[in-house]
């Protein structure tokens, strides 16, 4: 799988990789464009582009608000696809789509995969689709060579982790704690034990997200995960200080 190979090649050169996340259309696609540029210029290795949805059940209040505002401004899935095509053509890092299954279903699942492949998207993160209910999705992921990223959680048993890893490609997204995105994560003994179980369950690169917001957080993950995921922190930064603050923040994470 292209995504796995790209991440492993990058990981061989760095102590830890960085994946960032932004909600398309929030506060605007023009701001998104500048934020992506700053992220890439300052060493981000992979970016999740979230297609807004009205009920983003895995997301905390900051990202929920961003989804709702992007939708209220009239953002269309077509515009998200066009923007993603521009980003993938401009910046030579992997781009993923993160969204909810209703977006794919309404658009047409195979039509969505075909379009994503055409524009250079390398993976999908769909938090509300259990693999047992995603036979069509998984078959199309294989057909089009797009990585279906699976999600581990602190509540996942070792058996469940191995099952999920068997369905997935590209990377595994390890949710750092119970709950939704945005809140602070506590890096205690239970967290480190959880990551050890994640590592034992798969050979795919491990990306850890939910509450990763500082250089200190990223340092904790070195040697235990392959990639730190920064989401809510950059959205708050853009809201408070503007897109020009993103570059220095990313540069200071490792």
- Extents of the domains making up the chain: 2-251
Report the pLDDT value the prediction gives residue 234, as an integer from 0 to 100.
93
Q: In angstroms, what CA-CA distances link 72 with 14, 67, 69, 169?
A: 40, 9, 5, 34
Report the pLDDT value the prediction gives residue 143, as an integer from 0 to 100.
98
Report the pLDDT value the prediction gives residue 177, as an integer from 0 to 100.
57
Model pLDDT for residues 231-254, shown as the tens digit of each residue = 999 999 999 999 999 999 999 998
- When pLDDT is cut at 50, 70 and 90, the band that residue 56 belongs to is confident
The pLDDT of 118-125, averaged and rounded, is 98
pTM value > 0.85:
yes
| Contact in structure between 75 and 22 (CB atoms under 8 Å) | no
- When pLDDT is cut at 50, 70 and 90, the band that residue 221 belongs to is very high
- When pLDDT is cut at 50, 70 and 90, the band that residue 230 belongs to is very high
Q: 206-209 and 147-152: which strand pairing?
A: unpaired
SS3 category, 174: strand
User: How far apart are the C-alpha atoms of 28 and 246, rounded to whole Å?
Assistant: 15
User: How far apart are the C-alpha atoms of 134 and 94, rounded to whole Å?
Assistant: 23
User: How far apart are the C-alpha atoms of 226 and 7, rounded to whole Å?
Assistant: 9
Here the tokens at position 112 are 């969505």
Model pLDDT for residues 66-77, shown as the tens digit of each residue = 999 999 999 999
Report the pLDDT value the prediction gives residue 186, as an integer from 0 to 100.
63
Average pLDDT value for the chain: 94
Question: In this structure, which topology does domain 2-251 adopt according to CATH?
Answer: TIM Barrel (3.20.20)
Report the pLDDT value the prediction gives residue 55, as an integer from 0 to 100.
86
Report the pLDDT value the prediction gives residue 181, as an integer from 0 to 100.
46
Catalytic residues: 48, 59
3-state helix, strand, coil in the chain (%, to 5): 50, 15, 35
Is residue 190 within a helix (H) or strand (E), and if so which, with residue range?
helix 189-201
The better pLDDT of the pair 120, 57 is held by 120
Quick check: 101 pLDDT over 90? yes
Model pLDDT for residues 155-203, shown as the tens digit of each residue = 999 999 999 999 999 999 999 855 444 344 567 788 999 999 999 999 9
26: left (phi over 0), alpha (psi -120 to 50) or beta: beta
Report the pLDDT value the prediction gives residue 59, as an integer from 0 to 100.
82
User: How far apart are the C-alpha atoms of 216 and 210, rounded to whole Å?
Assistant: 15
- When pLDDT is cut at 50, 70 and 90, the band that residue 210 belongs to is confident
- When pLDDT is cut at 50, 70 and 90, the band that residue 60 belongs to is confident
Among 202, 57, 59, smallest CA distance to 48 is for: 59
Cα of 200 vs its chain's centroid, Å: 22
């Amino acid at each position: 799988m292209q995504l796995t190979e790209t991440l492993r090649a990058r990981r061989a050169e760095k102590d830890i990789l960085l994946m960032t996340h932004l909600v398309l259309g929030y506060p605007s696609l023009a701001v998104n464009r500048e934020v992506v540029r700053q992220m890439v210029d300052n060493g981000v290795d992979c970016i999740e582009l979230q297609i807004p949805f009205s009920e983003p059940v895995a997301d905390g209040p900051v990202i929920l608000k961003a989804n709702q505002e992007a939708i209220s401004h009239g953002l269309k899935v077509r515009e998200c696809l066009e923007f993603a095509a521009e980003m993938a053509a401009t910046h030579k890092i992997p781009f993923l789509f993160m969204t909810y299954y209703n977006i794919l279903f309404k658009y047409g699942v195979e039509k969505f995969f075909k379009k994503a492949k055409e524009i250079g998207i390398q993976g999908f993160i769909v938090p509300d689709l259990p693999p047992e209910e995603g036979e069509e999705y998984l078959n199309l992921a294989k057909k089009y060579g797009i990585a279906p990223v699976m999600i581990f959680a602190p509540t996942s048993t070792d058996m469940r982790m191995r099952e999920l890893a068997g369905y997935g490609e590209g990377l595994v997204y390890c949710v750092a704690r119970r709950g939704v995105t945005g809140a602070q994560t506590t890096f205690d003994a239970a967290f480190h034990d959880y990551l050890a179980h994640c590592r034992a369950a798969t050979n795919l690169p491990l990306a850890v997200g939910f509450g990763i917001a500082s250089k200190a957080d990223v340092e904790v993950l070195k040697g235990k995960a392959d990639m730190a995921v920064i989401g809510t922190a950059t959205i708050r930064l853009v809201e408070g200080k503007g897109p020009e603050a993103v570059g220095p923040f990313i540069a200071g994470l490792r």
